[in-house]
Amino acid sequence: MKKDLTRQQYLDLYYYMRLNRAVEDMMVKLFRQNKIVGGLYSSLGQEAISVGTAYALEKKDWLAPMIRNIGALLVKGVRPRDIFMQHMAKYDSPTKGKDGTSHFGDLDDLHIVSPISMLGDLIPVMTGVAMAGRYLGQKTVAMTWIGDGGSSTGVFHEGLNFAAVEKAPFVLILENNLWAYSTPVRKQVPLENLADRAKAYGIDSYIVDGNDVVAVYSTAKEAVERARAGEGPILIEAKSFRRMGHAQHDPAEYVRLGKRAIPSLSMKSFCRAKNCSTPRARTRSRRRSARCSTGNASSRRIRRCLRRNLQKQASTARAMIATRFARSGSARLLK
């Protein structure tokens, strides 16, 4: 039976998802100002996968992120500043301005292997890292991520078979966000669950709701402990939905957006239900409520508070409309 998380663990998961979102929101602004020189790939709605899985690792473990795994970098200890500098190709970035995308790592301190653009190639690489840790008696686990589209590459199957044969302490996270660029999963494979691919190599697999960070963490933690104990590699399919285009340059007109849960907002509600928010945050919330209540304010203050709330709602609506026009390529200006 899975153990309940501590209050601090709940707060950590929520913190890293909010940080993930804040970092990406700032990067979108930088991209629109032409300050980011490479591509920008959003993990909007998938933060729970990166954060929950990376949080299950120990400090000594190794990971290799992909383009939508900024959350994993933050959990591992990468500073937001380094992520900004890297994408702007600045001299004081981790790659000294030689790369303008997410291709950077930290082999010495944080045990992060740099991403590889060729999808699936990180699987045999991280299998090798896992085997090296076992050879050295370090009891480490290696982890990397792959998308639903990347699971159709040849090296995905070659690498997973290699890991299975060697019984490497390796965990592979398969992020099924239903789209490989503009190709839906149903046109890629005749499978309902991509986790079933693990059966071909005799390894165990899990299926988890990728929008539930607590479920993601609990599943990943169990998989990591099993891999560390010598049970071999494990595949986790995290089901989610890509809420944006493949990258910032992709308007994603081929995608029909429905009402789906956003992990960070869901976790916020969860923390409130669990009463694990900080006393300071609860005090601020009570003050805001009291400020607009008729029993604690003058009529002038009530009108001012309501007007401020209406202005916020109008601002949010304008932002949503502007985003919709921007994504559809419309040249109309909103005033």
pLDDT value of position 265: 61
Tell the burial category of 76 from Cβ atoms under 10 Å away from its Cβ (0-12, 13-18, 19+): buried
Let me know if residue 333 belongs to a domain.
Answer: no
Partnered with residue 144 across adjacent β-strands are 64, 172
Which residues, 6+ apart, have CB-to-CB distance to 102 below 8 Å?
Answer: 41, 65, 67, 70, 86, 87, 115
pLDDT value of position 178: 85
Domain boundary (268, 291, 315) is at 268
Let me know if residue 154 belongs to a domain.
Answer: yes
Same domain, 216 and 84: yes
Let me know if residue 233 belongs to a domain.
Answer: yes
Same domain, 169 and 308: no
DSSP for 213-254, written as a single string: HHHHHHHHHHHHHHHHTT---EEEEEE----S-SSTT---TT
Q: How many domains does the chain have?
A: 2
pLDDT value of position 268: 66
Same domain, 288 and 161: no
E-only strand ranges, the chain: 62-64, 142-147, 170-176, 179-180, 183-184, 204-209, 234-239
Let me know if residue 127 belongs to a domain.
Answer: yes
Same domain, 83 and 135: yes
Same domain, 146 and 205: yes
Read off the tokens for 307: 């007007």
pLDDT value of position 79: 94
Same domain, 68 and 14: yes
Same domain, 16 and 88: yes
Same domain, 138 and 236: yes
Let me know if residue 21 belongs to a domain.
Answer: yes
**What residue numbers bound the domain in which 301 lies?**
283-327
Let me know if residue 213 belongs to a domain.
Answer: yes
Same domain, 187 and 229: yes
Angle at 196 between CA 125 and CA 167, to 5 degrees: 40
Same domain, 113 and 48: yes
DSSP assignment letter at 6: P
Same domain, 259 and 289: no
**At which residue do the structure tokens 């401020």 appear?**
308
Same domain, 264 and 313: no
Let me know if residue 274 belongs to a domain.
Answer: no
CATH number of the CATH domain containing 241: 3.40.50.970
Cβ-contact 71, 47 below 8 angstroms: yes
Let me know if residue 287 belongs to a domain.
Answer: yes
Q: Could you give the CA distance from residue 291 to residue 199 in angstroms, rounded to a whole number?
A: 58
Give pLDDT tens digits along the chain (335 positions): 466 899 999 999 999 999 999 999 998 899 888 898 877 888 888 899 999 999 999 999 999 999 889 999 999 999 999 999 998 989 898 888 888 788 889 999 999 999 998 898 999 999 999 999 999 999 999 999 999 988 999 999 999 999 999 999 999 999 998 888 788 888 888 888 999 999 999 999 999 999 999 999 999 999 999 999 999 999 999 999 877 767 677 666 767 655 455 566 666 666 766 667 655 655 555 555 455 544 445 566 666 665 666 666 666 656 655 555 555 444 433 33
Angle at 134 between CA 131 and CA 137, to 5 degrees: 155
